[in-house]
Structure 1
Amino acid sequence: MNLESPKVSVSKSPEAVFNFLSDIKNFESLMPENISKFEVLDDDKFLFALKGMPEIVLKKKEVIPPNKIILGAAGGKIDFSLIGNITEVDANSSEVQLQFSGDFNPMMAMMIKSPITKFLETLATNMPKAV
Structure 2
Amino acid sequence: MNLESPKVSIGKSSQEVFDFLTKVENFEQIMPDSKQKFEKLSDDKFLFQLKGMPEIVLKQKENNAPSTVVLGAASDKLPFTLTANMKATNDNETETQLIFDGEFNAMMAMMIKKPIQNFITALAENLKNI
TM band (smaller chain): over 0.9
- Percent identity, aligned pairs only? 55
> The residue matched to 1:70 in structure 2 has which SS?
strand
What secondary structure, in the 3-state scheme, does the structure 2 residue paired with 1:115 have?
Answer: helix
Aligned to 2:58: 58
How far apart, in 2, do the equivalents of 1:76 and 1:91 lie? 39
Looking at structure 2, the residues matched to 92 and 52 of structure 1 have their Cα atoms a distance apart, in angstroms, of 38
Q: Which residue is 1:75 aligned to?
A: 75
TM-score by length of 2: 0.99
- Tell me what 1:84 maps to: 84
CA distance in 2, matches of 1:30, 1:76: 25
Counterpart in the other structure of 1:125? 125
- Residue 94 of structure 2 is matched in structure 1 by 94
Q: Tell me, in whole angstroms, the C-alpha distance in 1 between the residues paired with 2:20 and 2:87.
A: 15
How far is the alpha carbon of 1:60 from its aligned partner?
Answer: 0.2
Which residue pairs with 2:26 in the alignment? 26
* Cα distance between partner residues in 2 of 1:95 and 1:47: 26
| TM-aligned CA deviation for residue 58 of structure 1 | 0.0
Q: What is the root-mean-square deviation of aligned Cα atoms in Å?
A: 0.6
SS in 1 for 2:128: helix
Runs of 5+ unmatched residues, structure 2: none
Equivalenced residues, count: 130
SS of corresponding position for 2:46: strand
Q: Partner amino acid for 2:95? A: E
Q: Report deviation, 1:128.
A: 1.1
1:110 is matched with which residue?
110
Q: Structure 1 residue 76: deviation in Å?
A: 4.8
Distance 2:80 2:52 in 1: 20
In structure 2, the CA distance between the partners of 1:20 and 1:12, relative to structure 1 (3 Å rule), is same
